[in-house]
Chain A
Amino acid sequence: MFLSKNPRNRKSNLRLVVNRDAKFTNFVEFRTHKVIYRRYAGLFFSVCVDMTDNELAYLECIHLFVEILDHFFSNVCELDLVFNFHKVYLILDEFILAGELQETSKRAIIERMSELEKLE
């Protein structure tokens, strides 16, 4: 899952991250930014942040996002994300906006999602 809009950046990010050993840091410096990534089985979640941003805060931000997905899909797996990519976008829009954290309460987001589902 990449939060980058540019597919080209996404590809080079991927190359940067996937070959790294599990014992390495979760941070890779990428041009003038840093990529913070976390691996869950075969899935990589990564965010690109400024050099001076707090690395660990973003690392846990990824985990919180995964927990939210896990809650929402109840035991999330890769296929859930692929076939429901539009839902993932919706969740992401409740979680992060303008590149900043918007909401850190799992409950608030899950409740909001069920509100939205009713509207469909």
Chain B
Amino acid sequence: MTGMRGLSVFISDIRNCQNKEAERLRVDKELGNVRTCFKNEKVLTPYKKKKYVWKMLYIHMLGYDVDFGHMEAVSLISAPKYPEKQVGYIVTSCLLNENHDFLRLAINTVRNDIIGRNETFQCLALTLVGNIGGRDFAESLAPDVQKLLISSSCRPLVRKKAALCLLRLFRKNPDAINVDGWADRMAQLLDERDLGVLTSSTSLLVALVSNNHEAYSSCLPKCVKILERLARNQDVPQEYTYYGIPSPWLQVKAMRALQYFPTIEDPSTRKALFEVLQRILMGTDVVKNVNKNNASHAVLFEALSLVMHLDAEKEMMSQCVALLGKFISVREPNIRYLGLENMTRMLMVTDVQDIIKKHQSQIITSLKDPDISIRRRALDLLYGMCDVSNAKDIVEELLQYLSTAEFSMREELSLKAAILAEKFAPDLSWYVDVILQLIDKAGDFVSDDIWFRVVQFVTNNEDLQPYAASKAREYLDKIAIHETMVKVSAYILGEYGHLLARRPGCSASELFSILHEKLPTVSTTTIPILLSTYAKLLMHTQPPDPELQKQIWAIFKKYESCIDVEIQQRAVEYFELSKKGAAFMDVLAEMPKFPERQSSLIKKAEDVEDTADQSAIKLRAQQQPSNALVLADPQPVNGAPPPLKVPSVSGSTGPESVARSLSQPNGTLSNIDPQNPSPDLLSDLLGPLAIEGPPGAVSSEQHGPIGAGGAPDEVDGSAIVPVEEQTNTVELVGNIAERFHALCLKDSGVLYEDPYIQIGIKAEWRGHHGRLVLFLGNKNTSPLTSVQALILPPAHLKLELSPVPDTIPPRAQVQSPLEVMNIRPSRDVAVLDFSYKFGTNVVSAKLRIPAVLNKFLQPLQLTSEEFFPQWRSLTGPPLKLQEVIRGVRPLVLPEMANLFNSFHVTICPGLDPNPNNLVASTTFYSESTGAMLCLARIETDPADRTQLRMTVGSGDPTLTLELKEFIKEQLIAIPVGSRALVPAAGPGPGQAPPAVQPPSPVIAADDPGAMLAGLL
């Protein structure tokens, strides 16, 4: 390595850069230089190649993308001499990952190095495979690596690398190691004298036993032997003691391996182990030297875990509890952190509640610690130790902490507080207080579940209703309240506000005016709830108050033409209903009680626990590296209908669903087939979405006639009749293509549904990143097996799907996150190849994933000063493209504007002097383009709406083209499904079967022209 002056000079240059920009310029210059040299192979000596490859690695370390020269790095691996070969190996391991195609090219060379005679080369090759070897390597190399590991002629140097290399291969493909032949060898390896080889082999063992402890049971006594050897400090060379402690790491690993065996049956082994453990528990003192202290406590904490796992004798357990009690009170932050963490684990193993309670005040102090790591652990422990006796204190503390907690913790905190309040509430009014405080303090982090739940409690407990109503009324006096507070108080006051009628400030018209003050501040999801409340207030005012009626009717009238279908529908329906006297009272009568059932919150908490607490024992038992959560549904098999669904429906979906559920005397939703209820979890998480399919679609063509013709008879008919869900057919529920198209324009909903499974999707988009979660819900009482989900990504997207478990238990839901990154603009669509087995039926489907171009657009409205300079700077092809498009779906301009807005291309009104034209702007995000401004102009011809001229421009030619094509597709697309369904509604709107038309987001269904175009 001597004499690599060029490299040192380059590093100095970088270090001397004054700022990031200068550094980037220097890096770009060097990359250009390296690129040119690589092209000119004649002058590229091995020395130069080596130098450039090191430079590339340095640039990569600085965080820059190095997207070329990989081939050169890989090719150095086959160099005959050590210096070049070494560089090739190291740089390849750093720059490439296991999925890289170039790596396959190297497999043969790597294998030759492994089986060859040159020990140095063997080491290099084993290191590469150990660091980045993938499945390909596992299949072809495992036997060779095994040979090296057990070979008596290899130096320990090679063997320890072989052990860890084999570990990597095993992790990539557990079948790479044949258990039958290997278990005995593994046991022999544990007799090794060389502690380097032994340390590596023990790591291998940990992975093997976590997968199959039975096969390796002969290793158990050997682990105990290792511990004895270390504990007694026998045969431990000086160089393997660390601050006087015989290899703390090996001790930790051996104890970790033992935690994968369920018990230790052999009495003498058990005795020997307990002696060692006892010695560790008793003999670990706090010393001044930090390193020594850490090392000995590393061993001590591992011993604690092992004791917990073995569920040792009472005496030893209480020793552990005493130690932990000491640790959670010490000053030293690391030890306190670990004390809190292990105390939480201890709670799951044994009944230590009473002992821990003695430390409650110290734990609460830790909740206020400046270090977030400690606060997190304290929160988990407080949550775990909470019961009826201390719930009030603990929840009080959590609420107090909520005001100061950082954002990253608030969601978890509020969920935990809500759950504890529900689980251990000494009385229900306290519970209502807690939840309202929670919404007040951290509204953004209070999920809908939480306020649905409080509504459910209030509805079911008459005594609570006046109290809840008066509390809700109090919060409304605050100057600024969170939208969730508006929702919950509007709901409660609508239902129970009349119970307060005699109190000052609580008459119907006063309630109305204070609620109505909030309306301008809320979003479109809250307005429907407010409208329902107004209707209820009106209904409760007996005798009618003409002034109030006038005001409310005026509001209903105003929203009758609202662009939001939900709001429009409620406004129209309530307006008509409120003219109907007795029927109005009937329909808007008080909500019926909800059937009792387990809280969805608690279920939700169970998954939070699964990820957050990560009980060592639980986790080690599973050890499957999967992010997907499996939630067993504790509901009885014949499943009561999910009551939470009712508030969720009325909360965020439909007025007609309020009405619908009201028409059922006992609150049972008749659209749930009792034989085959959809899983509760699905309905909780996706409740509003699931329903959005067929029933939500009492779409505007039904309103049209009603509103216009004033034929009120149909109102009840269409709005109130429940819609049966087709659960008993073997066919698909809903149309996949429609579902896909709907999901292209919104971010959550059902992607696929058949009688056995429902796949929901929820997405969040930020710049060129997206995070989707697939919810796979088994709708049946038997498991779905052989579940497979594979993503077939198009070239422009990087997609990473967390593994989906092979089996979905009965009526359980599995969540599988899918990370998306947009690399460059393209209209290609990713496909999910999905299959499963139900009984003997194999069902498979290829589903398009709604990670489409418009998801990477962010709305942006420009002023004319911003728009025109940009527009002019794009001078023509390929950055600016123009096309005359014919066969466009005829849309009037406002509809076209809505269509554009719906896929995040924002119309900038008033910029174009010609009223028949639209100009629009948006920002597109991808890795290659970064955030890029896109502009578009549409020129329409009022005489012929089927053609228009479109101009699209952006700073990237591909983006311009793709965006233009994308918009074109949207303009000429005839949404699937509308053809068949429109005629059904056509003959007589009065007899139209209710809610058969799925919502088709792009069609402007109330435009007769568009419908005609659909028919043609």
Contact = CB atoms under 8 A, between A and B. Distances in A.
Interface in A1-60: 5, 7-8, 10-11, 20-21, 23-29, 32, 51-52, 54-57, 59-60
A86 B242 contact: no
Given A98-B165, A106-B239, A7 B60 contact: yes
A96 B248 CA distance: 16
A60 B131 contact: no
Contact of A102 (B8, B11, B196, B620): B196
A55 B165 CA distance: 24
A59 B120 CA distance: 30
A42 to B, nearest CB: 14
A20 B83 CA distance: 41
B318 interface: no
A63 B167 contact: no
B307 to A, nearest CB: 15
A60 B157 CA distance: 23
B199 interface: yes
A76 interface: no
Main secondary structure of the interface of B (DSSP, over half): helix
Given A86-B1, A105-B196, A55 B60 contact: no
Given A5-B97, A56-B294, A98-B168, A24 B373 contact: yes
Nearest to B298: A56
Contacts of B302: 54, 57
B294 A25 contact: no
Interface stretch (B332-340, B384-392, B552-560, B942-950): B332-340
B627 A32 contact: yes
A57 B165 contact: no
A112 to B, nearest CB: 7
Contacts of B291: 60, 63
A105 B131 CA distance: 21
Contact of A56 (B240, B250, B301, B376): B301
B63 A7 contact: yes
Interface stretch (B530-538, B611-619, B838-846): B611-619
Interface string B81-111: 0110011001000100100000000000000
A5 to B, nearest CB: 7
B334 A54 contact: no
Contact of A25 (B126, B161, B371): B371
B301 A98 contact: no
A67 to B, nearest CB: 9
Interface in B226-250: 237, 239-240, 242, 247-250
A24 B370 contact: yes
A97 B130 contact: yes
Contacts, number: 163
Contacts of A64: 242
Given A10-B63, A61-B249, A85-B58, A100 B164 contact: yes
A25 B338 CA distance: 10
Interface centre among A10, A64, A104 (most CB of B within 10 A): A104
B895 to A, nearest CB: 42
Interface in B609-653: 611, 614, 616, 619-620, 627
Interface string B1-38: 11000001001000100000000000000000000000
Given A98-B167, A101-B199, A120 B1 contact: yes
B297 interface: yes
A69 B127 CA distance: 20
Interface residues of B, number: 72
- The bracket for how many chain A residues form the interface is 35 or more
B911 interface: no
Given A20-B371, A21-B371, A101-B199, A120 B83 contact: yes
B272 interface: no
Interface string A78-96: 0000110111011001000
Nearest to A90: B90
Given A89-B94, A98-B167, A120-B82, A52 B616 contact: yes
B160 interface: yes
Nearest to B203: A100
B61 A85 contact: yes
Contacts of A63: 291, 294
B252 interface: yes
A108 interface: yes
B301 A105 contact: no
A60 B250 contact: no
Nearest to A79: B15
Interface string B317-355: 000000000000000011011100000000000000000
B28 to A, nearest CB: 16
A93 B126 CA distance: 10
A29 B376 contact: yes
B252 A57 contact: yes
A108 B249 contact: no
3 A-B pairs closest in CB distance: A56-B298, A7-B63, A24-B371
Given A93-B127, A97-B168, 15 more contacts: A5-B94, A24-B374, A25-B371, A27-B373, A52-B616, A55-B334, A57-B295, A59-B334, A86-B1, A98-B131, A100-B203, A102-B161, A104-B196, A104-B247, A105-B195
